[in-house]
Structure 1
Amino acid sequence: MPDTTPDDQVVPRGRPAALLVLIVVVGLEFLAMAAVTVFLLVELLTAAAANVASAIALVVLAVLATVWLGAMLAGLRRGRAWVRSGIIVWQVLQGALAIGAFQGASRVPAVGWALLIPALLAITLVLSKSVTAALVRRD
């Protein structure tokens, strides 16, 4: 069902601080994912890939993840209730990547913490009472 609510009537003027922090966290994640996508695309075009099909698939997945985060950020800024589930899914996936960065032969704990801390913060914020109340469906 298309959203026909005008943008100026979407979110009340007073946004809770937790919602603003969540917007910043998701916005930073969006920018980071966009940067990773650009990096992967440049690498695909300039470096010789060991497996071209896998490299293309990785770029496509990165583009999809960037679009997803962009949609979550836009919905969050407009106060849409549907973004809560998408944000939680993204944070769980990001947390899984963080756990992988802590393990294995090529572990990089700094990357793990850089992924895990925002994921935990975003899950905490998206489930907080003030954010839930701000994102309540206003149909």
Structure 2
Amino acid sequence: MRPSGPTIAAAIVLALEGVALAVICLIELIALGAGQTASTASGIALIVLTLLAAVALGAFSWGTLHRASWARSGGVVFQALGVALGLASLSLEPKVWLFTGAVGGTALIGLVLLISATRRDGASDPRLRGDEGSGDRG
């Protein structure tokens, strides 16, 4: 079955977020190589964690296209964290609206798309509609 429009859009948002994190990982790697980190061990740990998050977002994007519930749920968690990070950035002075919009806004769009994709995929899944019988034997 062909993925729905919201599913494709959600997968694109997840993939773009993964690419953005990969770019941030490269920037962190360059900063580490230039000696612009306070601690080499902390810099390496941050690079590894950022790279893991980028790979996870790529996997969630691929899984969302293939209607995998684990991918949509993992994507929802990442989007919820992005919305929280965007809202938390509003407490900083001066306010960095570009960061707030880029992180929080993108995450909010991704969250709405993932919920919409889940609703559409659930409506088309015969296991969830109950068409195959109630599953009770007896």
In the superposition, the TM-score normalised over structure 1's length comes to 0.79
As a proportion of its length, which structure holds more helix? 2
Query: What is the aligned-residue RMSD (CA, Å)?
Result: 2.2
Find the partner of 1:35 among 23, 26, 32. 23
Q: Does 1:127 align with 2:115?
A: yes
1:126, CA displacement in angstroms?
Answer: 1.3
| Number of the residue aligned with 1:70 | 58
1:133, CA displacement in angstroms?
Answer: 4.0
How far apart, CA to CA, are the structure 2 residues paired with 1:137 and 1:82?
16
| Number of the residue aligned with 1:84 | 72
Q: Does 1:24 align with 2:12?
A: yes
Q: Does 1:111 align with 2:102?
A: no
In the superposition, the TM-score normalised over structure 2's length comes to 0.79
Q: Does 1:95 align with 2:83?
A: yes
Q: Which runs of 5+ in 1 are unaligned?
A: 1-11
Q: How many residues align?
A: 126
Q: Is the 8 A contact 2:15 2:61 kept in 1?
A: yes
Q: Judging changes above 3 Å, is the alpha-carbon distance between structure 1 residues 83 and 103 closer, same or farther for their aligned structure 2 residues?
A: same
After TM superposition, the structure 1 stretch with the greater mean CA deviation from structure 2, 47-56 or 77-86, is 47-56
Q: Is the 8 A contact 2:86 2:105 kept in 1?
A: no
Structure 1, residues 68-127: CA drift from partner, whole Å, max 9, x if none?
111111211222121121011101111122123222235311111111112111111211
| Number of the residue aligned with 1:5 | none
| Letter aligned with residue 40 of structure 2 | V
Q: Is the 8 A contact 2:12 2:61 kept in 1?
A: no
| Letter aligned with residue 35 of structure 2 | A
SS of structure 2 residue aligned to 1:114: helix
Tell which structure's C-alpha radius of gyration is larger. Answer: 2
